Each structure stands twice: as structure tokens, then as C-alpha cells.
Structure 1
């Protein structure tokens, strides 16, 4: 499958790109002009784009899209909205127009019902709005909502579902593996689920 990855140069996106290549897929690493693409795997296809200003043909010729991008924890509320909400929504709309088979969203625990008292409320509300748009889009989708992320690779022993420990952790390598699986696994189709590493 040809799979467009938004956020391909991030900590999770790099792992995802590598795992998809190893699985025989053809990842297309979407990146901004200013992004450091030197750590991407050799031979990976790239597609320059900015989530705040997407071209209409951004999803041309791809079978699936994975949104693994994020504005980052230190950005303004305005940029969070531009990337995590509006950028994601725009990419969903372009994917639908291009007849993409499946859209996989990296979201966050708490995005299903953002807590107004949380320090992360604005971020989670942006994620919530993007998730809701995806679910209403008519696209086949999978929404992954991991608990707190670590930079570990993990051992692929994960738990998916409602009984995930909200105080647990999720290794980025495990998150990437779940995103890669969600691209084609019908058991994860049209579902939103929490995720944690248990190994």
C-alpha cells in the first residue's frame, strides 16, 4: 500500500515510516520545507507540504493516510488549532476527495471527552474536533488514543480498548506499530480505542 504519513519526521512518525517500509508498504513521508528529513529511511518517497496550507492534490495516488503530526507542547493555542484541528480536518477532506481507503488518526487519551480543568484542555479539544470530523467523514478510519508517550521502542505487547490504565505509558515504537497495523487491519476499522504498552 502507498501510505501518506503526516508527521513523518517526528519521534513517532520516523518509527512508523521505518516499520511500514519493513512491512513491504510504500510510505510517503509528508514534510514541511523546513523539516529535517535526514533521519528518514533511505529510499523513502517524500512529499513536501504544510498542514496549514495543503494543496488539493496532497493525497493523490495514496491508499491510506496516517496523521501522526502534532503542533508540539510548547506552541500557542492558535498553532495547536491550525495543526491539530484545522490541518487534520483539511487532510481528512483531501483524503476523502482522493478516495483514500483508510485514514488513521494518532489522537490522545482524553480526546473523547476533554476535561475543561485539564492543562491540556485546548489540545485535547482540538484533537476531539478532528476525531469527530473523521468519524463523520464517511472514510474508513481508525483512531488511536495512547496514554502518556515515552521514547522507548517497546516490545509490541500492547493493550487496546476501554480498560487501558489512564496513568500508564505507551512506547512510541509500540504506538507506531499500532498505527501501521491499523492501516489494513479490519479488526480496527471504524473504531476509536485507547492504547497502552504493557510489556
Structure 2
């Protein structure tokens, strides 16, 4: 059955592979894009819906079966933008998904976001991701949270490792991450779980 799936972050490196996966599987992805977004790389079959994660308007999730948050403020932005996009934007999208009666929400998070008081260079980012993840868990939505280790641009690998066996110093290919996000949204295989993930 074809699903209508809203993808936040569809024009990013992982997001582009994700929407391609969804189109290949016969689903109908809709990219949530800002007015200034470059949508030229999006594959045929992807619809557009305007929305800015720093100021989401009511109704952006209407008509959707599932929502995938695969966006990020990016490594070059400061803490303020991290809070606006990775924390507040994600939380607002969750609330709008609830409002729209969406049946599943998939969150692309990060290894280490399971801690409420993370330490190290990425502490601010991980805290923002943690708060967004916890907000999703408490929302009442059917959810899946994927927490990959450091990302690479390698292609699909032979296998992935999920959960407690993940080596936190390992790598995860964006292609594998995209594939798992698509699976999580369309199959329910990871419903109710927050999983660390690496490529094998």
C-alpha cells in the first residue's frame, strides 16, 4: 500500500537518498522545504510542501500517514540554530503530526542522544536531540528513533548492527541510514524503539 510520507530534511545528503528509496518502493514522499531550498536534486515523484523548521505553521502534516524528521541545522551553525531546528523544530513537527492524526513518526537522532546530560564537543547538539527524542516518546505517536554513529557517504553495506551491540566509534553510511528510516516509516519494524545503529 502506498503511503503519504512527509520528509523534513529531504534535500540533505541523507534525505535525498531517503526520498529516492521511498519513491523506488512505490510510496509518495512529500519534501518539507523552505522557500530558499534547492530542490533540483529531488527525484521525480516527490511532492513539495513549504515549511520552515524554525517557524512551522499548523497543517504541514495534514494528509500524511507518516512523518520522518531527517533534518539538521548542520555542523557549521551555532548553538542557537541547533536549538531552533534540531530541538524546537523537531518538537513542533511532532506536535503538528499529533494534531494531524499521523500514524507514525520516525526521528533521525544521533548516538549519544540517549543521555540527558551529555558531555564532550557535541554536548549541546546531543542535548537538543535528546529533548526532541523524549518529546516524541511522550507524544502518544507510534514512533521509531534511529541513532546512527558517525556518518559516511559510502554506499549500502552488507549489513547493519542495531541496539546494544553497536560500537560507538564505528561508522554508518548515509545510504544505510536512509534505507532504515524508510523501513521504519513504512513497515513498523522498529515501532516503539530507539536504536543505536552502525554499518557492518
Normalising TM by the smaller chain, what interval?
over 0.9
Gaps of 5+ in 1: none
Residue in structure 1 matched with residue 173 of structure 2 by the alignment? 171
Question: Could you tell me the TM-score, scaled by structure 2's length?
Answer: 0.96
Of residues 147, 150, 153 in structure 1, which corresponds to 2:152? 150
Residues 16-95 of structure 1: pairs in structure 2 closer than 5 A? 16-95=18-97
* Conserved? CA contact 2:21–2:178, under 8 Å: yes
Cα 1:159–1:176 change in 2 (3 A) is: same
* Conserved? CA contact 1:106–1:143, under 8 Å: yes
Task: Give how far 1:117 is off.
Answer: 3.2
Task: Give how far 1:2 is off.
Answer: 0.2
* Conserved? CA contact 1:96–1:137, under 8 Å: yes
Task: Give how far 1:116 is off.
Answer: 4.2
Task: Give how far 1:139 is off.
Answer: 0.1
Q: Post-superposition, which runs of at least 4 consecutive aligned residues in structure 1 deviate over 2 A?
A: 114-117, 184-187
Question: Could you tell me the TM-score, scaled by structure 1's length?
Answer: 0.97
Q: CA RMSD in A?
A: 1.0
Gaps of 5+ in 2: none
* Conserved? CA contact 1:104–1:183, under 8 Å: yes
Task: Give how far 1:156 is off.
Answer: 5.1
Cα 1:74–1:113 change in 2 (3 A) is: same
Residue in structure 2 matched with residue 8 of structure 1 by the alignment? 10
Secondary structure of the 1:130 match is helix
Residue in structure 1 matched with residue 186 of structure 2 by the alignment? 184
Residue in structure 2 matched with residue 132 of structure 1 by the alignment? 134
Task: Give how far 1:43 is off.
Answer: 3.1
Residue correspondences, number = 198
